């Protein structure tokens, strides 16, 4: 039997351990918390060092004034990820197959985007994961930690086994909860001020920052990977719709806890003391120093563990989820059928992209980030979230979507508003990409 023949068959054949565990639930039975997983993976992957620092800086600049925007951001992501999951469960097709039904223009955008994004993000993720380790153990060169992080991430996801990824990510989420939420508890939040922060207001000169917090926290391309992880889990028909919605909602509420915890730390520890920190990953190291000075070295190191957990869980999630997306995309370009093993997790196209995320970005670690690549990254990236919101709006109302699972008018209004938010953010990011410095 050839590898191709061995890979053919129903979704049950792909990941028997997870599928069997998921299929223990009868259609009429209530979902059990033990089956939750894909939402946790997508949320943990999306909440990286960049999101933590963005929320932290918002808290340091405006106190609790943008707490409502952080909560709105979680709700936005719930809608977007639910839409991606609903499409996959209702149609049985991947999000990329959906995009192709909207026209070839989607591939013209997505192909260059996923390659440029992977090249730049690989270096960014490895650097973010290395920084907290280097802060504690500076005896070894920073680049060695960065390269090691990429190699370990690649090794852990090489075979594409979802159930193992889910368990590892759950461990990192637990670490993040203890360290990030624990640090917020040390900061002793002012509950009255926090409640006032739930009233929507936009600080003077803070419109773009408000939209960035509302729209930018919790992932970009990884949101679209949710449907692939659902299939890896063994959830691939409409009977899993309710379970998917609980999974997604629970996971993003949990990510909202992390976001609110970081805003509390920024508001209580930095804003009240008028302490400014850098907007890059280095800002999180500075925060650990502030925590150490205020509450002792143990708390400072505790936060660095959370910083590392957020960064490394993003490596694992991206190295797996976006590699599956690339495999699906490239398999479609090569005219392979949708159930072909090369278009799946662990296939040859998947492994190519794992290598693409790991080794070429090491050149950026060695040489710095060339201006041309960064501009291309900024231009292509500025359009992805509007691209996702607009395409989901069409897919969830289109003829390929079973009627009972299409958007109602309320959901359509929500998706239009989300699209407008991301268009404004996209234009702002596009302008920033061409600004010097």
Q: Is the pLDDT of residue 245 over 90?
A: yes
Average pLDDT over residues 398-421: 93
When mean pLDDT is compared across 3-12, 54-63, 101-110, the lowest value belongs to 3-12
Residue 101 lies in a domain: yes
Q: How confident is the model at residue 36 (pLDDT cuts 50, 70, 90)?
A: low
For position 99, what pLDDT does the model report? 95
Q: Is the pLDDT of residue 35 over 60?
A: no
Q: How many domains does the chain have?
A: 1
Residue 309 lies in a domain: yes
Q: How confident is the model at residue 16 (pLDDT cuts 50, 70, 90)?
A: very low
For position 226, what pLDDT does the model report? 94
Helix 67-91 × helix 241-265 angle, to 10°: 160
Average pLDDT over residues 77-101: 95
Q: Is the pLDDT of residue 338 over 60?
A: yes
- CA 316 to CA 153: how far, in whole Å? 6
Residue 382 lies in a domain: yes
Residue 16 lies in a domain: no
For position 53, what pLDDT does the model report? 78
SS3 readout for the chain: CCHHHHHCCCHHHCCHHHHHHHHCCCCCCCCCHHHCCHHHHHHHHHCCHHHHHHHHHHHHHHCCCCHHHHHHHHHHHHHHHHHHHHHHHHHCCCHHHHHHHCCCHHHHHHHHHHHHHHHHHHHHHHHHHHHHHHHHCCCCCHHHHHHHHHHHHHHHHCCCCHHHHHHHHHHHHHHHHHHHHHHHHHCCCCHHHHHHCCCCCCCCCCHHHHHHHHHHCCCCHHHHCHHHHHHHHCCCCHHHHHHHHHHHHHHHHHHHHHHHHHHHHHHHHHHCCCCCCCCCCHHHHHHHHHHHHHHCHHHHHHHHHHHHHHHHHHHHHHHHHHHHHHHHHHHHHCCCCCCCHHHCCCCHHHHHHHHHHHCCHHHHHHHCCCHHHHHHHHHHHHHHHHHHHHHHHHHCCCCCCCHHHCCCHHHHHHHHHHHHHHHHHHHHHHHHHCCCC
pLDDT tens-digit readout, 355-403: 999 999 999 888 766 666 667 666 777 788 889 999 999 999 999 999 9
Of all residues in the chain, what percent carry a pLDDT higher than 70?
87
Chain-wide mean pLDDT for the chain?
Answer: 85
- Domain span at 80: 35-433
- CA 329 to CA 221: how far, in whole Å? 13
Residue 97 lies in a domain: yes
Residue 6 lies in a domain: no
Q: How confident is the model at residue 202 (pLDDT cuts 50, 70, 90)?
A: confident
- CA 415 to CA 128: how far, in whole Å? 32
For position 218, what pLDDT does the model report? 55
When mean pLDDT is compared across 66-75, 305-314, 366-375, the lowest value belongs to 366-375
Residue 416 lies in a domain: yes
Q: How confident is the model at residue 427 (pLDDT cuts 50, 70, 90)?
A: confident
For position 217, what pLDDT does the model report? 58
Burial of 335 (0-12, 13-18, 19+ CB in 10 A): exposed
When mean pLDDT is compared across 1-5, 102-106, 257-261, 331-335, the lowest value belongs to 1-5
When mean pLDDT is compared across 57-61, 64-68, 119-123, 412-416, the lowest value belongs to 57-61
Q: Is the pLDDT of residue 351 over 90?
A: yes
Average pLDDT over residues 247-260: 88
Average pLDDT over residues 8-13: 39
Residue 3 lies in a domain: no
Average pLDDT over residues 97-115: 93
- CA 150 to CA 360: how far, in whole Å? 11
Q: Is the pLDDT of residue 13 over 50?
A: no
Domain CATH number, residue 272: 1.20.1740.10
């Amino acid at each position: 039997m050839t590898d191709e023949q061995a890979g053919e068959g129903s979704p049950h054949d792909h990941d028997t351990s997870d599928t069997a565990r998921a299929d223990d639930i009868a259609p009429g039975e209530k979902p059990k918390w033990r089956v939750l997983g894909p939402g946790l993976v997508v949320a943990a992957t999306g909440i990286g060092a960049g999101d933590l620092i963005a929320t932290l800086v918002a808290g340091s600049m405006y106190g609790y004034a943008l707490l409502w925007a952080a909560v709105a951001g979680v709700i936005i992501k719930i809608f977007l990820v639910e839409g991606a999951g609903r499409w996959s469960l209702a149609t049985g097709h991947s999000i990329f197959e959906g995009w192709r039904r909207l026209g070839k223009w989607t591939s013209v955008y997505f192909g260059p985007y996923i390659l440029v994004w992977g090249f730049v993000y690989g270096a960014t993720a490895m650097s973010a994961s290395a920084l907290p380790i280097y802060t504690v153990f500076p005896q070894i060169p920073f680049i060695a930690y960065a390269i090691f992080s990429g190699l370990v991430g690649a090794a852990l996801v090489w075979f594409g086994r979802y159930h193992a990824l889910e368990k590892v990510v759950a461990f990192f989420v637990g670490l993040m909860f203890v360290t990030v939420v624990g640090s917020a508890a040390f900061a002793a939040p002012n509950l009255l001020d926090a409640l006032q922060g739930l009233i929507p207001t936009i600080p003077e000169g803070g419109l773009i920052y408000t939209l960035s917090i509302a729209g930018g926290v919790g992932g970009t391309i990884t949101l679209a990977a949710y449907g692939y992880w659902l299939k890896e889990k063994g959830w691939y028909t409409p009977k899993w719709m309710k379970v998917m919605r609980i999974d997604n909602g629970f996971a993003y509420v949990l990510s909202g806890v992390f976001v609110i915890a970081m805003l509390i730390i920024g508001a209580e520890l930095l804003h009240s003391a008028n302490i400014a920190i850098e907007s890059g990953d280095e800002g999180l190291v500075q925060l650990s120093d502030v925590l150490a000075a205020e509450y002792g070295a143990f708390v400072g190191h505790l936060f660095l563990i959370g910083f590392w957990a957020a960064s490394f869980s993003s490596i694992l999630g991206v190295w797996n989820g976006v590699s599956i997306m690339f495999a699906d995309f490239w398999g479609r370009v090569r005219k392979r059928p949708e159930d072909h093993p090369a278009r799946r997790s662990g296939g040859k196209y998947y492994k190519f992209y794992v290598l693409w995320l790991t080794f070429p970005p090491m050149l950026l670690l060695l040489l710095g980030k060339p201006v041309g690549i960064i501009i291309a990254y900024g231009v292509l990236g500025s359009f992805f979230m509007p691209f996702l919101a607009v395409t989901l709006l069409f897919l969830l109302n289109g003829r390929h979507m079973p009627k009972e699972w299409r958007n109602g008018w309320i959901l359509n209004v929500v998706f239009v508003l989300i699209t407008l938010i991301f268009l404004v953010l996209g234009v702002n990011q596009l302008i920033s990409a061409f600004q010097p410095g």
